[in-house]
Amino acid sequence: MSGPGDFVTDNLASGGTVCGTAVAPGGQETSSSATPAKKPKKACRARTGYMLFHGEARKRIRAAHPELNFVEVSKRVGEEWAKVSAEEKNKYKLRAEQIAKEAKEDDSQKIILPPPGRILVYQCMWQKCDIQADTSDALYEHIKTTHNMEYFSQGEKRYACLWSTCFRNKRYPRSFSLLPHLQQHIKYKHLPRCARFITPDKKSKNFFSLTSSA
């Protein structure tokens, strides 16, 4: 039984199409001299209610008992936390959730600025696709409407990820039983890494935008 990789190889060799994208016979994958956009700093683990309490209690205990070492202070913090009422613990929990929410909103408003002489694009890395988009939302819309790589295995419809950097099929020959699962996989695994800084002359002829026909 042939898998998604065999299907794609045979289809490309005959000059066919993959998910609606035309490919010339024997076509080569397009290489890019684009510079990946600098990845944002990895987000710190969200603080919990206990972590908030721990920070406050540790400062207070160290100020009152400077002779205590790290382990002794931590032990006292744990003892105090055990005596905190459920109502007070819930207040710390709500505070932690509010802090996490505000931090997430701040991150969503950050703008990636390209260096001088370059523009920001979002590059589709699906096999044999050279689409570029002006936003991640535009690229995701392109993916949803174009890349639905389906094949049949033992009479069952399956959906394969053919993102060129995806290890799901390179290392583990698995696929998705539902198209929405494939789309979510691409959205959260691949889209965050597809931003590129390029010079204007490297802009693809197949440029996709939700707001214009650029």
Residue 42 in any domain: the answer is: no
Residue 199 in any domain: the answer is: yes
Q: How many whole angstroms separate alpha carbon 66 and alpha carbon 138?
A: 57
Residue closest to 57 by CA, chosen among 24, 88, 12, 20: 88
Q: How many whole angstroms separate alpha carbon 121 and alpha carbon 19?
A: 22
Residue 83 in any domain: the answer is: yes
pLDDT digits (tens, 9 = 90+) for 183-192: 888 888 888 8
Q: How many whole angstroms separate alpha carbon 140 and alpha carbon 164?
A: 16
Cα angle for residues 63, 68, 73 (degrees, 5° grid): 80
DSSP, collapsed to helix, strand or coil, labels residue 119 as strand
Residue 26 in any domain: the answer is: no
The verdict on pTM exceeding 0.85 is: no
Residue 21 in any domain: the answer is: no
Residue closest to 148 by CA, chosen among 140, 159, 156, 157: 159
pLDDT digits (tens, 9 = 90+) for 84-142: 999 999 999 998 888 887 776 665 556 667 788 889 999 998 988 989 998 888 999 99
Residue-wise burial string across 157-189, b where 16 or more C-beta atoms lie within 10 A, e elsewhere: ebbbbbbeebebbeeeeebbeeeeebbebbeee
Q: Are residues 145 and 197 in the same domain?
A: yes
Domain that holds residue 134: 119-208
Burial of 97: CB neighbours in 10 Å, binned 0-12, 13-18, 19+: middle
Domain count, the chain: 2
Residue 12 in any domain: the answer is: no
Give Cα 163 distance to the centre of its chain. 13
Q: Are residues 169 and 199 in the same domain?
A: yes
Average pLDDT over residues 155-172: 76
Q: Are residues 131 and 196 in the same domain?
A: yes
Judge contact between 124 and 130, C-beta under 8 A: yes
Residue 37 in any domain: the answer is: no
Q: Are residues 180 and 100 in the same domain?
A: no
Q: Are residues 90 and 143 in the same domain?
A: no
**Who has greater pLDDT, 9 or 131?**
131
Give the best-scoring range by mean pLDDT among 15-19, 130-134, 144-148, 174-178: 130-134
Average pLDDT over residues 59-73: 92
| Domain's final residue, options 85, 109, 133 | 109
Give Cα 73 distance to the centre of its chain. 39
Residue 20 in any domain: the answer is: no
Q: Are residues 105 and 124 in the same domain?
A: no
Residue 63's pLDDT band (cuts 50, 70, 90): very high
